[in-house]
Amino acid sequence: MSNLLKTCIVDDDLIYRFTMVKTLESIKLPMDIMVFSDGEKAINFMLDNLDNEPEYPDVIFLDIDMPVMDGFQFMEEFIKIKPRIGKSITIYMVSSSIDPVDIERANNISAISDYIIKPIGLVRLKEIMENLLDERK
């Protein structure tokens, strides 16, 4: 098993994606970062790689409010294909929404590890990534 963490950011906000990539790079842990501007692009990537498990991310930071396919719609589609994926993928729902309805809805989806209110601080992001690496050892 590779120590390289395949990290995926799914968010329509260009500035947020740029900031997340730069913050992840500053942590200086071994990772490969991929970004998608909406849930449909991300789910299509997963569907296109069903027979290529090493391409799948280890962790996904998923926004809720996106055009084309939002985070909850992505999760509906992800849950359908999850049984065909042989890899465990940690998913964090990341949103600026503090609406209790969104938080509860995310918490009721067992495939979501946690709900994080934007922005993710450097310390929290580093902790998440280090924990994921430690789990692989």
Instruction: Say what the pLDDT of residue 3 is.
Output: 76
Question: What predicted TM-score, i.e. pTM, was given to this entire model?
Answer: 0.95
- Domains of the chain (ranges, CATH numbers): 5-135 (3.40.50.2300)
Number of H helices, E strands in the chain: 5, 5
> Once rounded to an integer, what is the mean pLDDT over residues 95-121?
95
The mean pLDDT of the chain is 94
126 within 8 A of 26, measured Cβ to Cβ:
no
How does pLDDT run across 87-98, given as a tens digit for each residue? 999 999 999 999
Quick check: 2 pLDDT over 80?
no
> Once rounded to an integer, what is the mean pLDDT over residues 20-42?
96
Percent of the residues in the chain that have a pLDDT greater than 90, as a whole number: 90
90-95, strands of its sheet edge to edge:
31-36, 5-10, 59-62, 90-95, 112-117
Instruction: Say what the pLDDT of residue 6 is.
Output: 96
Return all residues near 1 (Cβ < 8 A) that are at least 6 apart: 136
Q: Estimate to the nearest angstrom the gap between the alpha carbon of 20 and the chain centroid.
A: 11
How does pLDDT run across 48-66, given as a tens digit for each residue? 999 898 999 999 999 999 9
| Phi/psi at 29 (5° precision) | -105, 155
**What is d(CA 104, CA 126) in angstroms, rounded to the nearest whole number?**
25
- Cβ burial 125-136 (10 Å sphere, 16+ → b, else e): bbebbeebbeee
| Phi/psi at 9 (5° precision) | -115, 125
Q: Of 74, 114, 106, whose CA–CA distance to 90 is shortest?
A: 114
